[in-house]
A and B are shown apart, each in its own frame.
Chain A
Amino acid sequence: DTGVSQNPRHKITKRGQNVTFRCDPISEHNRLYWYRQTLGQGPEFLTYFQNEAQLEKSRLLSDRFSAERPKGSFSTLEIQRTEQGDSAMYLCASSPRQGYYGYTFGSGTRLTVV
């Protein structure tokens, strides 16, 4: 399967706990994006990487959120001290390079904070 892979698919956590999600992009894609989608809304941009460099972060990405892409391959998104408002679908996408290319999205990680 050469698509974008996200793990886990679902995560239930207690408020205050830390969680980490992983994204494996399409291997030849050097751009990787994280989006958050809440019920009934479109995806909202969080951050993106070109290779291992994090080029932009949204104001939505509070200090509790951190993302990494070591060696320009897979990426992780960590949320510290989770809050109920963090409950959402976290989507990862990749694209070949800068320019007019559509993303390929993964199936997402559904986070529920209880």
Chain B
Amino acid sequence: QQQVKQSPQSLIVQKGGISIINCAYENTAFDYFPWYQQFPGKGPALLIAIRPDVSEKKEGRFTISFNKSAKQFSLHIMDSQPGDSATYFCAASTGTASKLTFGTGTRLQVTL
């Protein structure tokens, strides 16, 4: 049972453009939504996270938008750079359980 659906599977964006990755969840008990960035041969690294009491969170060039009624959240990467080329995973959990359920990942390529 896939509880977190992520799209697109892959994304190519020009340098300076905006990268947008979307996720949808089913479990209404989820109340913590982090995004992770993973480079080849490395473990995922936490980028940014949001809780459902806010609709948007911004950290530098990274923004999470959250729509609780639609059970959807998205990652926006502004002014995308070649160094952002990586695989991005959305995830969800309940705070008390802390067990993360991950999406299937989006492979982002930022071209010059």
Contacts and interface: CB of A to CB of B under 8 A. Distances in A.
Contact of A105 (B44, B96, B99): B44
B93 to A, nearest CB: 8
B42 interface: yes
A98 B99 contact: no
Contacts of B103: 42
Contacts of A41: 104-105
Interface in B2-44: 4, 6, 31-32, 34, 36, 41-44
A108 B43 CA distance: 6
B42 to A, nearest CB: 5
Q: How large is the interface on A (under 10, 10 to 19, 20 to 34, 35 or more residues)?
A: 20 to 34
B91 to A, nearest CB: 8
15 contacts: A41-B104, A42-B4, A42-B89, A42-B103, A43-B100, A91-B43, A95-B98, A98-B95, A99-B95, A100-B32, A100-B51, A102-B49, A107-B41, A107-B42, A108-B42
Interface of B: 4, 6, 31-32, 34, 36, 41-46, 49, 51, 89, 91, 95-105
